[in-house]
A = this chain, B = another copy of it.
Amino acid sequence: MHYYMPTTVVMGDHCIFEHRSRLKELGNKVLIVTGRNSAHANGSYADLVQALNANGQTHCCYDQVMSNPTVDCVFAAAELAREEHCDGVIAIGGGSPIDAAKVAAALAVQPVERSALFSSVFSRALPMAAVPTTAGTGAEVTPNGVITNDAAQTKTSVASPALFPRLAFLDARYMQGLPRRITINTAIDALSHAIEGMLSVRSSPVSDALARASIRAIADCFTALEEETPGHPIREKLLWASNLAGMVIANTGTIAIHAMGYMLTYFRRIDHGRANGLLLGRYLQRVHAQDTRRIQDILAALGIPDLETFTETLDRLLGIEETGEAFDAAELASYADRASQAKNITNSVIPPSRDALLAVFRESLFSPSRNSMPKPPQSLSP
């Protein structure tokens, strides 16, 4: 077993300005990597620029990161960092800008061919800070940048200890305006990270401690998420819960659920957190047939008596947008084929067969609460 998470995490309202002196370790000039709008709307961009100015640091900005960042986007950001002679990188946003910034920070000092991006080993990167503006990915404390891989028709993780941000600033004020739907999808993403970490072959007593705390905190917020747009205390709880879950997957990686979810995101543009949430309940029901102890451990952290209740809760939180009828058999078979090749599969304590993956896709998308075709729970082996 193994544990490593070297990022300095700073938490609290106005933490960027309060701890601005820490930004000096990124150097004289930094590249800010973000999306087009949200960093301006939620105040994080202004806070960061104020802190940099107070430090006498200059900056330039790449603000073209879209959801599910592309290879083009990370190469463009890296190119800008080189042209502008940036000493460090600061990402603001959800998982996409943070993931893009990590890979750009590596490419800025270790250029590779586009075709070699997913096979390259990055041993260094510009020093980096991350300011999450959603409470979901935990990317601010992981060594992974997940990039859309069109050659392989999925999302692929570029991973290296060099990609850990040096600094993460967690200020829940930036989430205050997030719509309920994004809040739920990102919270479910974090929940999936924590749960997947407990079902990973790389779980450890440290990762399990962090995972249980994360699961408990997110489950504590379920009622608030169902009923209303959350206020600041709930936002803050979800933010540190997603951060804990990020520390978990930084060490355990994700498992089959993410491999399956990437299919729904790549081919159907279903939001990443939502995609995981659609699959999570039925996947756990299959694990339960083979590993009752771990599932009981997860249920205890959730404070929920059984997986059926948990699955219903997820369905209620996520609502119905896509139904089984939208997916034909050949499409789901192709997703199962592709997902079964992902390395996340062998990272699962009970590696699911291709047929088990197909069954989880079918049970999840054709669930009783969505339409027809209920299936009895079965195991993950063929």
Contacts and interface: CB of A to CB of B under 8 A. Distances in A.
Interface of A: 1-12, 19, 204-206, 208-210, 212-214, 217, 240-241, 243-244, 247
> By CB atoms of chain B within 10 A, which of A19, A240, A243 has the most?
A240
Contact of A209 (B7, B10, B213): B213
Nearest to A208: B213
Name the 9 nearest CB pairs between A and B, nearest first: A209-B213, A6-B6, A1-B11, A205-B240, A3-B9, A4-B8, A2-B10, A209-B210, A1-B12
Most buried by B among A3, A212, A247: A3
21 contacts: A1-B10, A2-B8, A2-B9, A2-B19, A3-B8, A3-B9, A3-B11, A4-B6, A4-B9, A9-B206, A11-B205, A205-B244, A206-B210, A206-B240, A206-B247, A209-B209, A209-B212, A209-B213, A209-B244, A212-B213, A213-B213
Contacts of A204: 11, 240
A11 B207 CA distance: 12
Contacts of A12: 1
Nearest to A15: B1
Contacts of A240: 204-206
A209 to B, nearest CB: 3
Nearest to A7: B4
A205 B213 contact: yes
Nearest to A237: B205
Contacts of A212: 209, 213
A74 to B, nearest CB: 26
A44 to B, nearest CB: 18
A315 to B, nearest CB: 28
Contacts of A2: 8-11, 19
Nearest to A170: B1
Contact of A5 (B1, B5, B10, B11): B5
A212 B214 CA distance: 13
A34 to B, nearest CB: 24
Contacts of A210: 206, 209-210
A345 to B, nearest CB: 24
Given A4-B8, A209-B212, 8 more contacts: A1-B10, A2-B8, A4-B6, A5-B5, A205-B213, A205-B240, A206-B210, A209-B209
Contacts of A19: 2
Given A212-B213, A213-B212, A244 B206 contact: yes
Contacts of A243: 206
A88 to B, nearest CB: 18
Nearest to A251: B9
Contacts of A241: 205
A71 B247 CA distance: 37
A19 to B, nearest CB: 8
Contacts of A3: 8-9, 11
A3 B5 CA distance: 10
A213 B297 CA distance: 13
Contacts of A5: 5-6
Contacts of A1: 10-12
Nearest to A4: B8
A127 B212 CA distance: 33
